[in-house]
Amino acid sequence: MHRTLIVIFSTVCTTLATAQSPSKPTLIEHVRVFDGTRVLENSSVLIDGGIIRSVGAAIPRPAGATVIDGTGKTLLPGLIDAHTHTIEENLLQQAPVFGVTTDLDMFTDPATAARIEKDQRAGKLLDYADLRSAGYLATSPGGHGTEYGLPVPTLTRPEEAQAWVDARIAEGSDYIKVVYDDSVEYGVKEPKPTLSKEVLKALADAAHKRGKLVVMHIGSLQQALDAIDAGADGLAHLFVGATSTPDFGKMAAAHRIFVIPTLTVLNTICATDFDSALADDSRLKPYLLPSATAAMKATFGLPGKIGCEGAKEAIRQLKAAHVPILAGTDAGNPGTTQGASIHGELELLVRAGLTPVEALHAATAAAAAAFHLDDRGQIAAGKRADLVLVNGDPTGDIRLTRDIVAVWKAGHPIDREAWKATVAKQVEDQTKAKTAAPPAGSESGLIADFEQDGAPQSKFGAGWMVSTDQMAGGKSVGKLEVVPGGPEGSKNALRVTGEVTQGFAYPWSGAMFSPGPTPMAPVNLSARKAIQFWAKGDGQTYQLMLFSQRLGYRPATQNFVAGAEWKQFTLTFASFGDLDGSDIMAIVWCAGPKTGTFAFELDNVRLQ
């Protein structure tokens, strides 16, 4: 007993020690300082215990201090990305590698965000960007935000607003995010349902009653004007479309709102190649995981060409009217990634008419002020030691924010070299995978015909197993059994049954085939072009998910409907997006995220 107590106690001590960051002071001398608003030439900054202790022309060197010569370099406050989505938790670790020390999430699974924020408060997760989150967003049934599989609680009437807001606050939401967008601007055929202006106003009033900010997502200029009128504290995006109205800036100023233009994601919607170029920047590339590079090169695949010139015009008006503009990327969407994309956003803000100093202000002091994060966003005595040291002068050339020398989060130095080594290893593994021999036994292309009774067999690889969200803390269940009868006179087939239940953000259950020697070990199947299988079932829509090393744990998916009659499906690797089959970790046939019981059968599964 006693021994156990000692172990627990020493663990707590260790945690606290890491939390307080090195007690050894660090002094950065002769450095150009951008303090969040102004430029101070040839200055010194002393940090200790996670806090900026002093800023001045000459600071005496404390005994035992680490001294850094900042000649020719610029020290910036840690960057704040004012619009992100926490979809893959490991990308919160990628953000500070690129200087983003605070992430303002605008929609994610609230339980995940609450767990991360709790750990942060306990002094853990020093290598993560500091997270604040909206949790679930407010939207109408079937509206934007409901399509990702998260069980978003929706609302339709103004009377529901207070209870909805209070439920979010109870879940841990730091502010309230509202969607007001019917997707018409993106060229969709059927407008999506969206909240009424009355509900927007009720949500804003309900949030303000509890002292919370309301940030509104809009798609069109008219929606932006409605959102401002309804009481938004800030816009989570600028609108798409070719023009702005002449008095948009004045109206924003009169209502004292802030605006997060998210030019990065507008750029993806408008299908320019800006972010692909960013992913190839030699100052960023060595730190980008292959999955992050793939995300930055992805597009929405929207129909037709959409104009985004209205956003540029709006930024000119906002600047003239002194409306706070905040840098946000919408990371988590196609064309973006955590951390690296902020450097693209800064360049786009400058291209839209901000000076480099104004763009840096948007990513630091302006964001901190708008979200009442009083402890950060500035280089001043008493503030958190969230700092980015870069070569050269980004207050002259904004692209120099990419030339990072060092990053500190609350005084904790971010180990960029370790991250770079992780990236290099993944890139090397993928290069090797492309030339690797296909797995032994895969020569005929047949994966499984289920002709043997008993447990499902495969011709190669680690074989078949049930795959459910239980591995992510969910509660869905599934079962695999070889049953008599298949298509075209086949003796047996694989029956997959189970129930998808709420318990994890993206619930699923189904059958997984691992082509490698162990489950999820990547293999090269690029000699083949497609996956072919027969299926029948209860008429529901199912997903074929392909796990590839380049996409990490985010599967590429396609839907298929398992109807009453056997039907053959052929899905090419290329149809899953940027896949060539050279790094396939698993193939999963599953039900979800829709909940309920399900039953389908598979047979004659092969590579084509």
d(CA 241, CA 303): 14
Instruction: Judge residue 159's burial from the number of C-beta atoms within 10 Å of its C-beta, 0-12 exposed, 13-18 middle, 19 or more buried.
Output: exposed
User: Three-state SS for 375?
Assistant: coil
CB of 100 to Zn ion, least distance (A): 16
Instruction: Tell me the β-bridge partners of 584.
Output: 523, 548
User: Three-state SS for 465?
Assistant: strand
CB of 177 to Zn ion, least distance (A): 8
**DSSP H or E segment with residue 601:** strand 596-607
**DSSP H or E segment with residue 116:** helix 110-121
CB atoms within 10 A of CB 103: 31
Whether 390 and 399 have beta carbons less than 8 Å apart is answered as no
Whether 456 and 482 have beta carbons less than 8 Å apart is answered as yes
Instruction: Tell me the β-bridge partners of 605.
Output: 448
For Zn ion, the binding residues in 518-577 under the rule CB under 5 A are none
CB of 148 to Zn ion, least distance (A): 11
Residues 91-120 as x/- pattern, contact with Zn ion by CB under 5 A: ---------------x--------------
Among 330, 386, 469, 583, binds Zn ion (CB under 5 A): 330
Task: Name the residue with the smallest CB distance to Zn ion.
Answer: 330
Closer residue to Zn ion in complex, CB, 106/176: 106
For Zn ion, the binding residues in 463-522 under the rule CB under 5 A are none
Closer residue to Zn ion in complex, CB, 268/476: 268
For Zn ion, the binding residues in 187-246 under the rule CB under 5 A are none
Q: Give residue for tokens 């992050």.
A: 292
Closer residue to Zn ion in complex, CB, 260/512: 260
CB of 327 to Zn ion, least distance (A): 14
Closer residue to Zn ion in complex, CB, 106/494: 106
Angle at 300 between CA 298 and CA 304, to 5 degrees: 125
Q: Name, in order, each residue with C-beta under 8 angstroms of 78's C-beta and a sequence gap of 6 or more.
A: 96, 99, 100, 101, 102, 364, 376, 384, 386, 387, 388, 407, 408, 409
Closer residue to Zn ion in complex, CB, 137/590: 137
CB of 196 to Zn ion, least distance (A): 21
Closer residue to Zn ion in complex, CB, 177/528: 177
Closer residue to Zn ion in complex, CB, 55/106: 106
Closer residue to Zn ion in complex, CB, 86/426: 86
Q: How many residues bind Zn ion (CB under 5 A)?
A: 2
CB of 330 to Zn ion, least distance (A): 4
CB of 85 to Zn ion, least distance (A): 6
Closer residue to Zn ion in complex, CB, 506/569: 506
CB of 116 to Zn ion, least distance (A): 18
Instruction: Tell me the β-bridge partners of 55.
Output: 45
CB of 550 to Zn ion, least distance (A): 24
DSSP per-residue codes, 218-260: ESSHHHHHHHHHHT-SEESSPPPSS---TTHHHHHHHTT-EE-
CB of 239 to Zn ion, least distance (A): 14
Nearest to 602 by CA among 506, 476, 512: 512
CB atoms within 10 A of CB 371: 23
Q: Give residue for tokens 């029948």.
A: 536
Our finding on whether 81 is near Zn ion (CB under 5 A) is no
Residues 140-179 as x/- pattern, contact with Zn ion by CB under 5 A: ----------------------------------------
Closer residue to Zn ion in complex, CB, 103/330: 330
Stretch in the footprint of Zn ion (CB under 5 A) among 280-288, 328-336, 459-467, 589-597: 328-336
Stretch in the footprint of Zn ion (CB under 5 A) among 313-321, 325-333, 364-372, 454-462: 325-333
Whether 450 and 494 have beta carbons less than 8 Å apart is answered as yes
Q: Cα Rg for the chain, rounded, in angstroms?
A: 26
CB of 379 to Zn ion, least distance (A): 29
Residue type, 545: M
Q: In 274-401, at which residue ranges do the beta strands (DSSP E only) sit?
A: 387-391
Closer residue to Zn ion in complex, CB, 106/340: 106
The binding site for Zn ion (CB under 5 A) comprises 106, 330
